[in-house]
Protein backbone atom coordinates (compact mmCIF):
# COMPACT_ATOMS: atom_id res chain seq x y z
CA UNK A 1 0.00 0.00 0.00
CA UNK A 2 2.83 2.35 0.90
CA UNK A 3 4.46 1.73 -2.48
CA UNK A 4 1.22 2.61 -4.29
CA UNK A 5 0.93 5.87 -2.35
CA UNK A 6 4.56 6.70 -3.09
CA UNK A 7 4.00 6.03 -6.80
CA UNK A 8 0.92 8.30 -6.95
CA UNK A 9 2.69 11.00 -4.99
CA UNK A 10 5.74 10.80 -7.25
CA UNK A 11 3.59 11.19 -10.37
CA UNK A 12 1.82 14.22 -8.91
CA UNK A 13 5.12 15.85 -7.92
CA UNK A 14 6.45 15.23 -11.42
CA UNK A 15 3.59 17.23 -12.88
CA UNK A 16 4.03 19.95 -10.23
CA UNK A 17 7.74 20.20 -11.00
CA UNK A 18 7.00 20.60 -14.70
CA UNK A 19 4.62 23.47 -13.95
CA UNK A 20 6.84 25.14 -11.36
CA UNK A 21 8.82 28.08 -12.77
CA UNK A 22 12.59 28.12 -12.40
CA UNK A 23 13.74 30.04 -9.32
CA UNK A 24 15.61 33.15 -10.46
CA UNK A 25 16.14 35.14 -7.26
CA UNK A 26 18.28 33.77 -4.43
CA UNK A 27 16.37 32.83 -1.27
CA UNK A 28 19.13 30.76 0.29
CA UNK A 29 19.36 32.64 3.59
CA UNK A 30 15.63 33.20 4.00
CA UNK A 31 14.29 29.74 3.18
CA UNK A 32 17.27 27.41 2.54
CA UNK A 33 16.48 26.83 -1.15
CA UNK A 34 18.77 27.13 -4.20
CA UNK A 35 18.56 28.58 -7.67
CA UNK A 36 20.01 26.42 -10.47
CA UNK A 37 23.02 28.77 -10.60
CA UNK A 38 23.63 28.30 -6.87
CA UNK A 39 23.33 24.53 -7.30
CA UNK A 40 26.05 24.67 -9.98
CA UNK A 41 28.30 26.79 -7.72
CA UNK A 42 27.85 24.34 -4.82
CA UNK A 43 28.51 21.41 -7.17
CA UNK A 44 31.73 22.96 -8.46
CA UNK A 45 32.86 23.45 -4.85
CA UNK A 46 32.08 19.78 -4.06
CA UNK A 47 33.96 18.39 -7.08
CA UNK A 48 36.96 20.60 -6.28
CA UNK A 49 37.28 19.51 -2.63
CA UNK A 50 36.02 15.93 -3.06
CA UNK A 51 37.49 14.65 -6.37
CA UNK A 52 35.51 11.39 -6.23
CA UNK A 53 32.49 13.47 -7.27
CA UNK A 54 32.12 14.66 -10.86
CA UNK A 55 29.55 16.25 -13.15
CA UNK A 56 27.53 14.06 -15.52
CA UNK A 57 25.25 14.67 -18.51
CA UNK A 58 22.86 11.72 -18.49
CA UNK A 59 20.43 10.90 -21.27
CA UNK A 60 20.32 13.46 -24.09
CA UNK A 61 16.52 13.34 -24.21
CA UNK A 62 16.27 14.29 -20.53
CA UNK A 63 18.55 17.31 -20.44
CA UNK A 64 17.15 20.18 -18.37
CA UNK A 65 17.38 23.54 -20.14
CA UNK A 66 17.82 25.47 -16.88
CA UNK A 67 21.12 23.63 -16.18
CA UNK A 68 24.34 23.64 -18.24
CA UNK A 69 24.41 20.72 -20.67
CA UNK A 70 27.65 19.32 -19.22
CA UNK A 71 26.54 19.80 -15.58
CA UNK A 72 23.15 18.14 -15.30
CA UNK A 73 23.83 16.20 -12.09
CA UNK A 74 26.66 15.01 -9.83
CA UNK A 75 27.82 11.42 -9.51
CA UNK A 76 30.25 9.32 -7.48
CA UNK A 77 30.75 5.61 -8.28
CA UNK A 78 31.74 2.41 -6.48
CA UNK A 79 31.18 3.75 -2.97
CA UNK A 80 31.74 0.88 -0.48
CA UNK A 81 29.02 -0.34 1.85
CA UNK A 82 30.52 -2.98 4.14
CA UNK A 83 27.70 -3.39 6.66
CA UNK A 84 23.94 -3.55 6.70
CA UNK A 85 22.01 -0.98 8.72
CA UNK A 86 20.57 -3.72 10.93
CA UNK A 87 24.10 -4.48 12.11
CA UNK A 88 24.46 -1.04 13.66
CA UNK A 89 20.85 -0.46 14.72
CA UNK A 90 19.94 -2.20 18.00
CA UNK A 91 16.29 -3.06 18.39
CA UNK A 92 15.28 -4.45 21.77
CA UNK A 93 14.17 -3.71 25.28
CA UNK A 94 16.15 -1.52 27.66
CA UNK A 95 17.05 -2.77 31.12
CA UNK A 96 17.34 -0.21 33.94
CA UNK A 97 20.31 -1.04 36.14
CA UNK A 98 20.78 0.34 39.68
CA UNK A 99 17.30 1.80 40.00
CA UNK A 100 18.07 3.32 43.43
CA UNK A 101 20.98 5.33 42.09
CA UNK A 102 20.42 9.05 42.96
CA UNK A 103 21.57 9.95 39.46
CA UNK A 104 18.80 7.85 37.95
CA UNK A 105 20.82 4.70 37.30
CA UNK A 106 22.07 3.70 33.88
CA UNK A 107 20.50 1.81 31.03
CA UNK A 108 21.83 -1.48 29.69
CA UNK A 109 20.48 -1.82 26.16
CA UNK A 110 22.26 -5.11 25.30
CA UNK A 111 21.20 -7.56 27.98
CA UNK A 112 20.25 -11.21 28.01
CA UNK A 113 17.19 -12.75 29.61
CA UNK A 114 18.17 -15.81 31.68
CA UNK A 115 14.73 -17.32 31.04
CA UNK A 116 15.20 -17.02 27.29
CA UNK A 117 15.37 -20.38 25.59
CA UNK A 118 18.07 -19.08 23.29
CA UNK A 119 20.51 -18.67 26.15
CA UNK A 120 20.60 -22.41 26.77
CA UNK A 121 22.21 -22.91 23.41
CA UNK A 122 25.06 -20.63 24.40
CA UNK A 123 25.59 -22.53 27.65
CA UNK A 124 25.71 -25.85 25.80
CA UNK A 125 28.55 -24.54 23.67
CA UNK A 126 30.71 -23.81 26.71
CA UNK A 127 32.89 -26.86 27.29
CA UNK A 128 33.61 -27.85 30.90
CA UNK A 129 37.33 -28.51 31.35
CA UNK A 130 38.37 -31.05 34.01
CA UNK A 131 41.61 -32.79 34.88
CA UNK A 132 41.73 -36.56 34.82
CA UNK A 133 42.35 -37.29 38.51
CA UNK A 134 43.05 -40.98 37.89
CA UNK A 135 46.03 -40.18 35.67
CA UNK A 136 47.35 -37.71 38.23
CA UNK A 137 47.20 -40.36 40.95
CA UNK A 138 48.78 -43.07 38.79
CA UNK A 139 51.63 -40.92 37.47
CA UNK A 140 53.72 -39.33 40.27
CA UNK A 141 55.47 -36.12 39.45
CA UNK A 142 59.11 -36.42 38.46
CA UNK A 143 61.62 -35.48 41.15
CA UNK A 144 64.00 -33.03 39.52
CA UNK A 145 66.44 -33.45 42.43
CA UNK A 146 66.97 -37.05 41.35
CA UNK A 147 70.09 -37.14 39.10
CA UNK A 148 68.57 -40.05 37.14
CA UNK A 149 65.83 -37.79 35.84
CA UNK A 150 68.42 -35.29 34.66
CA UNK A 151 70.39 -38.03 32.91
CA UNK A 152 67.25 -39.26 31.13
CA UNK A 153 66.58 -35.74 29.96
CA UNK A 154 70.07 -35.45 28.48
CA UNK A 155 69.67 -38.81 26.79
CA UNK A 156 66.40 -37.76 25.19
CA UNK A 157 68.02 -34.59 23.91
CA UNK A 158 70.83 -36.63 22.37
CA UNK A 159 68.28 -38.89 20.70
CA UNK A 160 66.55 -35.91 19.15
CA UNK A 161 69.85 -34.61 17.83
CA UNK A 162 70.60 -38.01 16.31
CA UNK A 163 67.23 -38.08 14.58
CA UNK A 164 68.00 -34.79 12.87
CA UNK A 165 71.10 -36.27 11.29
CA UNK A 166 73.68 -34.41 9.23
CA UNK A 167 72.56 -31.55 7.01
CA UNK A 168 72.15 -32.52 3.35
CA UNK A 169 74.55 -31.07 0.87
CA UNK A 170 72.59 -28.80 -1.52
CA UNK A 171 74.60 -29.94 -4.53
CA UNK A 172 73.73 -33.58 -3.82
CA UNK A 173 70.05 -32.62 -3.26
CA UNK A 174 69.91 -30.81 -6.60
CA UNK A 175 71.58 -33.73 -8.45
CA UNK A 176 69.11 -36.17 -6.92
CA UNK A 177 66.27 -34.53 -8.87
CA UNK A 178 64.11 -33.99 -5.78
CA UNK A 179 64.17 -30.25 -6.36
CA UNK A 180 62.17 -30.72 -9.57
CA UNK A 181 59.54 -32.93 -7.92
CA UNK A 182 57.45 -29.90 -6.85
CA UNK A 183 57.82 -26.67 -8.73
CA UNK A 184 56.64 -23.88 -6.40
CA UNK A 185 55.56 -21.74 -9.34
CA UNK A 186 53.17 -24.47 -10.52
CA UNK A 187 52.19 -25.95 -7.16
CA UNK A 188 48.80 -24.21 -7.07
CA UNK A 189 47.94 -24.75 -10.74
CA UNK A 190 45.62 -27.65 -11.68
CA UNK A 191 46.99 -30.59 -13.60
CA UNK A 192 46.45 -30.55 -17.40
CA UNK A 193 43.74 -33.24 -17.24
CA UNK A 194 42.24 -32.05 -13.95
CA UNK A 195 38.74 -30.56 -14.15
CA UNK A 196 38.29 -27.26 -12.33
CA UNK A 197 36.25 -27.45 -9.15
CA UNK A 198 32.90 -25.68 -9.25
CA UNK A 199 32.83 -22.34 -7.46
CA UNK A 200 30.55 -22.47 -4.45
CA UNK A 201 29.20 -19.27 -2.97
CA UNK A 202 30.63 -18.68 0.48
CA UNK A 203 27.26 -17.43 1.61
CA UNK A 204 25.82 -20.89 0.97
CA UNK A 205 28.58 -22.49 2.98
CA UNK A 206 27.85 -20.11 5.83
CA UNK A 207 31.29 -18.57 6.29
CA UNK A 208 31.89 -15.15 7.83
CA UNK A 209 33.53 -13.44 4.86
CA UNK A 210 32.31 -9.85 4.55
CA UNK A 211 30.63 -9.22 1.20
CA UNK A 212 31.17 -5.57 0.28
CA UNK A 213 28.41 -3.93 -1.69
CA UNK A 214 29.03 -0.80 -3.72
CA UNK A 215 26.77 2.10 -4.57
CA UNK A 216 26.63 4.81 -7.19
CA UNK A 217 25.34 8.09 -5.74
CA UNK A 218 23.77 10.92 -7.76
CA UNK A 219 22.81 14.45 -6.72
CA UNK A 220 20.22 16.17 -8.88
CA UNK A 221 18.50 19.54 -8.70
CA UNK A 222 14.80 19.30 -7.81
CA UNK A 223 13.01 22.20 -9.51
CA UNK A 224 9.83 21.80 -7.45
CA UNK A 225 11.49 21.78 -3.99
CA UNK A 226 14.39 23.94 -5.25
CA UNK A 227 16.93 21.81 -3.37
CA UNK A 228 19.43 19.04 -4.13
CA UNK A 229 18.12 15.47 -4.20
CA UNK A 230 20.16 12.32 -3.50
CA UNK A 231 19.76 9.11 -5.51
CA UNK A 232 21.48 5.76 -4.82
CA UNK A 233 21.70 2.48 -6.70
CA UNK A 234 23.52 -0.57 -5.32
CA UNK A 235 25.47 -3.57 -6.58
CA UNK A 236 26.71 -6.75 -4.94
CA UNK A 237 30.34 -7.94 -4.89
CA UNK A 238 29.94 -9.28 -8.44
CA UNK A 239 28.63 -5.90 -9.67
CA UNK A 240 25.15 -7.37 -10.01
CA UNK A 241 22.28 -4.95 -9.42
CA UNK A 242 20.76 -5.26 -5.94
CA UNK A 243 17.05 -5.89 -5.54
CA UNK A 244 14.81 -3.21 -4.05
CA UNK A 245 14.63 -5.00 -0.70
CA UNK A 246 18.41 -5.44 -0.61
CA UNK A 247 18.88 -1.72 -1.11
CA UNK A 248 16.42 -1.01 1.68
CA UNK A 249 18.71 -3.09 3.94
CA UNK A 250 21.27 -0.30 3.58
CA UNK A 251 18.81 2.43 4.53
CA UNK A 252 18.00 3.43 8.11
CA UNK A 253 14.86 1.55 9.07
CA UNK A 254 13.32 4.79 10.31
CA UNK A 255 13.47 6.15 6.75
CA UNK A 256 13.02 3.09 4.50
CA UNK A 257 9.92 3.31 2.29
CA UNK A 258 9.05 6.66 3.90
CA UNK A 259 11.79 9.25 3.40
CA UNK A 260 13.55 6.89 0.96
CA UNK A 261 11.45 5.58 -1.94
CA UNK A 262 12.09 4.00 -5.32
CA UNK A 263 11.49 6.49 -8.13
CA UNK A 264 12.42 7.27 -11.74
CA UNK A 265 15.68 9.14 -12.18
CA UNK A 266 15.12 12.55 -13.84
CA UNK A 267 18.20 12.25 -16.08
CA UNK A 268 18.62 8.52 -16.73
CA UNK A 269 16.53 5.70 -18.21
CA UNK A 270 16.47 2.24 -16.72
CA UNK A 271 15.37 0.82 -13.37
CA UNK A 272 14.07 2.96 -10.54
CA UNK A 273 16.58 4.20 -8.00
CA UNK A 274 16.32 4.78 -4.27
CA UNK A 275 15.91 8.48 -3.56
CA UNK A 276 15.95 10.55 -0.37
CA UNK A 277 12.83 12.71 -0.58
CA UNK A 278 13.77 16.42 -0.52
CA UNK A 279 10.66 17.80 1.22
CA UNK A 280 12.57 18.61 4.46
CA UNK A 281 15.92 19.63 2.98
CA UNK A 282 15.21 23.38 2.85
CA UNK A 283 13.91 23.47 6.44
CA UNK A 284 17.00 21.65 7.73
CA UNK A 285 19.32 23.94 5.80
CA UNK A 286 17.49 27.03 7.07
CA UNK A 287 18.00 25.91 10.69
CA UNK A 288 21.70 25.29 10.03
CA UNK A 289 22.09 28.76 8.49
CA UNK A 290 20.41 30.32 11.54
CA UNK A 291 22.64 28.36 13.94
CA UNK A 292 25.78 29.50 12.14
CA UNK A 293 24.66 33.13 12.12
CA UNK A 294 23.76 33.00 15.84
CA UNK A 295 27.32 31.87 16.47
CA UNK A 296 28.66 34.93 14.68
CA UNK A 297 29.49 33.11 11.43
CA UNK A 298 28.25 33.29 7.88
CA UNK A 299 27.43 30.30 5.70
CA UNK A 300 28.18 30.66 2.00
CA UNK A 301 25.92 29.03 -0.56
CA UNK A 302 28.93 27.18 -2.02
CA UNK A 303 28.99 25.02 1.15
CA UNK A 304 25.45 23.76 0.57
CA UNK A 305 26.28 20.31 -0.81
CA UNK A 306 29.04 19.62 1.73
CA UNK A 307 26.51 20.17 4.53
CA UNK A 308 23.77 18.40 2.58
CA UNK A 309 25.86 15.22 2.37
CA UNK A 310 26.58 15.36 6.07
CA UNK A 311 22.96 15.44 7.20
CA UNK A 312 21.66 12.87 4.68
CA UNK A 313 24.18 10.35 5.99
CA UNK A 314 21.79 9.69 8.87
CA UNK A 315 19.55 8.08 6.24
CA UNK A 316 22.28 5.89 4.67
CA UNK A 317 24.83 5.56 7.50
CA UNK A 318 26.74 2.54 6.11
CA UNK A 319 27.41 3.95 2.62
CA UNK A 320 30.86 5.52 2.93
CA UNK A 321 30.75 8.36 0.44
CA UNK A 322 33.14 11.30 0.34
CA UNK A 323 32.47 14.62 2.08
CA UNK A 324 35.98 15.11 3.42
CA UNK A 325 35.94 18.88 3.88
CA UNK A 326 35.62 19.80 7.55
CA UNK A 327 32.80 22.08 8.66
CA UNK A 328 32.30 23.56 12.12
CA UNK A 329 28.67 24.56 12.54
CA UNK A 330 29.31 26.80 15.57
CA UNK A 331 31.95 29.00 14.06
CA UNK A 332 32.09 29.13 10.29
CA UNK A 333 33.01 32.18 8.27
Q: Are 222 and 230 in contact (CB under 8 A)?
A: no
Q: Please count the other Cβ atoms lying within 10 Å of the Cβ belonging to residue 89.
A: 12
Q: Are 250 and 270 in contact (CB under 8 A)?
A: no
**What is the structure's pLDDT at 224?**
95
Distances (CA, A) of 327 to 46, 256, 286, 297, 308: 13, 28, 16, 12, 11
Phi, psi (5° rounding) for residue 273? -120, 155
- Domain extents in the chain: 28-90+211-315
Indicate if 85 belongs to the active site.
Answer: no
Lowest-confidence pick of 43-52, 100-109, 161-170, 273-282: 100-109
CATH topology of domain 28-90+211-315: Yope Regulator; Chain: A, (3.30.1460)
Q: Are 242 and 274 in contact (CB under 8 A)?
A: no
Q: Are 296 and 331 in contact (CB under 8 A)?
A: yes
Is the per-residue pLDDT at 255 higher than 80?
A: yes
**What is the structure's pLDDT at 88?**
81
Can you tell me the distance from the alpha carbon of 308 to that of 305, in angstroms, rounded to the nearest whole number? 5
Q: What is the dihedral of CA 47, 53, 54, 55, to 10 degrees?
A: -90
**What is the structure's pLDDT at 149?**
56
Can you tell me the distance from the alpha carbon of 307 to that of 295, in angstroms, rounded to the nearest whole number? 17
Q: Which of 50, 85, 127, 279 is catalytic?
A: 279
Can you tell me the distance from the alpha carbon of 152 to that of 1, in angstroms, rounded to the nearest whole number? 84
**Crossing angle (nearest 10°) for helices 304-311 and 281-294:** 110
**What is the structure's pLDDT at 11?**
60
Nearest to 305 by CA among 291, 285, 331, 290: 285
Nearest to 60 by CA among 264, 326, 243, 268: 268
Nearest to 318 by CA among 87, 83, 89: 83
Q: Are 6 and 261 in contact (CB under 8 A)?
A: yes
Nearest to 301 by CA among 9, 7, 34, 69: 34
Question: What pLDDT, in 10s, does the model give residues 20-45?
Answer: 788 999 999 999 999 999 999 999 99
Can you tell me the distance from the alpha carbon of 37 to that of 32, in angstroms, rounded to the nearest whole number? 14
Q: Are 224 and 13 in contact (CB under 8 A)?
A: yes
Nearest to 47 by CA among 302, 251, 265: 302
**What is the structure's pLDDT at 166?**
59
- Please, which pLDDT band fits residue 109 given cuts at 50, 70 and 90? very low
Amino acid sequence: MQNVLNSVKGTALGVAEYLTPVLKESKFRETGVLTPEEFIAAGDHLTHHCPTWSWAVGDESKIKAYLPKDKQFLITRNVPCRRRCKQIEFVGEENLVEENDPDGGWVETHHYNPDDAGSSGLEEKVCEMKLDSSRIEDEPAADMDDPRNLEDGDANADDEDDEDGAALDMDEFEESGLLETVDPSNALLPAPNEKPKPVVSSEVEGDSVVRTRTYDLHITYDKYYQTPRLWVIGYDENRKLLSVEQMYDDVSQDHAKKTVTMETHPHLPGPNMASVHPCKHADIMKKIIQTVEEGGGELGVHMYLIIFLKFVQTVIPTIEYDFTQNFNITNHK
